Amino acid sequence: MTDAIKAGHRVLLPEGWPKPSGYSNGIVADGQTIFLGGQIGWDAQGKFAEGLAAQVGQAMANIVDVLTVAGTPPTSIVRLTWFVVDVEDYIQQRRAIGAAYMAVMGKHFPVMSVIGVSRLVEAAALVEIEATAVIPRA
């Protein structure tokens, strides 16, 4: 069973499963694939945003900037992998993180994983987000 079709992508929701909040269980997409390396919460000048939620917003804005170069909107994103240095901080700030995410992405919820890590290469980074996008076939 499918939940929705958006931007050429079909969101998968098995029969009887509850609709996930803030992500999708699976997506079927057909088109040109774009793989983005991990984006962190710094701006073009290398200045980090303050706090986890702000870094999430900046990392997502960076992802959108890279996708813009490819000529595709953020709705082409089919998968996000988040690496966070403090899982408890992530859990406590879910509302603020959700607001920062939706300020950039709107109500587009791709497949997503969140993974706790001991640290990231940039010492001030609290989150790193990888993205996979698919430009739908015309």
Tell the CATH topology of 34-132: 60s Ribosomal Protein L30; Chain: A; (3.30.1330)
Do residues 133 and 102 make contact, with C-beta atoms less than 8 angstroms apart?
Answer: no
pLDDT at 6: 59
Across the chain, which has 138 residues, the per-10-residue mean pLDDT values are: 61 90 87 96 97 98 97 95 98 97 95 97 98 90
The pLDDT score that the predictor gives to residue 23 is: 87
Strands (E), 1-138: 2-6, 9-12, 26-29, 31-40, 77-84, 111-116, 127-136
- Give the pLDDT confidence score for residue 1 in this predicted structure: 45
Domain ranges of the chain: 34-132
Q: What is the pLDDT of residue 118?
A: 97
Report pLDDT for 7. Answer: 62
- Tokens 């269980």 belong to which residue? 25
Contact 74, 108 (CB under 8 A): yes
